[in-house]
Structure 1
Amino acid sequence: MKHSQLFIDSLLHPKKLAAYRLLPIGKVIQYTFLLITIVTVFSFGRFIAGVPVDSFNMSGFEDYLDGIKWVLYPVTFIMLFVFTTMLIFAQIALYALAGLFTLKVMKRRGEYRHIWRTTTFAMTWAVLLTMLADYVPINSVIISVFSFLLTMTLVIIAFTKYPKQPMAK
């Protein structure tokens, strides 16, 4: 399955997310790193565009920054990638943990690994909204809460397609 199809389905077809719980973990990790790369490149572009050297009002510091830009940019990109990776994987793990409790309440069968995969695809909207949040005049807390609710809603919609638990005899 192509990553573009996974991306489109993550955005438009929340019920298909339940079927993607059966994808190999390698494909899910690839998709996760694709999202991480998109966020990192976007953030790095904002960093490059949003850090004018002349705003520091210190000529010696400006000369110093001009001299180390060739080091500053690659190090910044690597640090952005590492921190974004940690953040997104932590979010997926926490959403999946919340999803595990939700799955039990819904009396559906599933393992943490299945929920983790479903959550990865359900987070696509949240990642995109968070990435574009700086361009909207809305408080970041509101964006975060909305992203959380959106992700959990998509996870719950996907859980409706998980198999039901067998009745106790």
Structure 2
Amino acid sequence: MVKHSQIFIDSLIHPKKLAAYRLLTIGKTIQYVFILIAIVTVYSFYQFLTGVTETSYNIQGLTEYVEDIQWLLYPFAFVLLTLTSTIVLFIRISIYAFVGIIVLKIMNRRGEYRHLWRTAALAITWSTLLTVLFSLIRLSSIVSTIIEIIITMVILILASTKYPKIAKK
């Protein structure tokens, strides 16, 4: 059985191995995606915590109200961040998998959407880590998104080269 740490390392430095991981169970792949979601959520929650403490409110009543409900605000924010991170990451993986199907057809390679979904779920590792890094260095969201799309697509194309070729009739 492949460990998540091995999948993580291979998705960072061995993009061609991702094609072999297309045969992983969907449960293992989804577990890996939730590890990525946890990384993004914890970082986003940390930003939220530090942002709330640094924000200066102009209205005295609002400041007191926020201080009174902070115990309720933090768990709600964590759940909301987890939910939005999950939705966004799953949508991005699904879009990359759809584009991957088109790439496979162009390259005359054999594969199904479910295989490309698993490969895209692993190929998105760099993109997820770069999201955290780019927010730390305050890179423009448009520039960071373009860089992340390019990196993920390059990794997906490299992995697609290891998919089996379509047999000629």
CA deviations over 1:134-165 (Å, ceiling 9, x no partner): 22243211110110011010000001110000
Percent identity for Structure 1 against Structure 2:
51
Cα shift at 1:52: 2.4
Which moved further from structure 2: 138-147 or 74-83? 138-147
Give the RMSD, CA atoms, in angstroms: 1.1
The corresponding residue for 1:19 is 20
* Distance in 1 (alpha carbons) for counterparts of 2:116 and 2:164: 13
SS in 2 for 1:107: coil
The corresponding residue for 2:43 is 42
The corresponding residue for 1:112 is 113
The corresponding residue for 1:72 is 73
* Distance in 2 (alpha carbons) for counterparts of 1:54 and 1:107: 54
The corresponding residue for 2:63 is 62
CA deviations over 1:34-89 (Å, ceiling 9, x no partner): 10011001100010011226601221111111110010000000000001100000
Q: Count the aligned residue pairs.
A: 168
The corresponding residue for 2:150 is 149
The corresponding residue for 1:32 is 33
Normalised by the length of structure 2, the TM-score is 0.96
In the alignment, structure 2 segments of 5+ residues that lack a partner are none
* Distance in 1 (alpha carbons) for counterparts of 2:159 and 2:123: 9
Normalised by the length of structure 1, the TM-score is 0.96
Letter in 2 for 1:100: I
SS in 1 for 2:151: helix
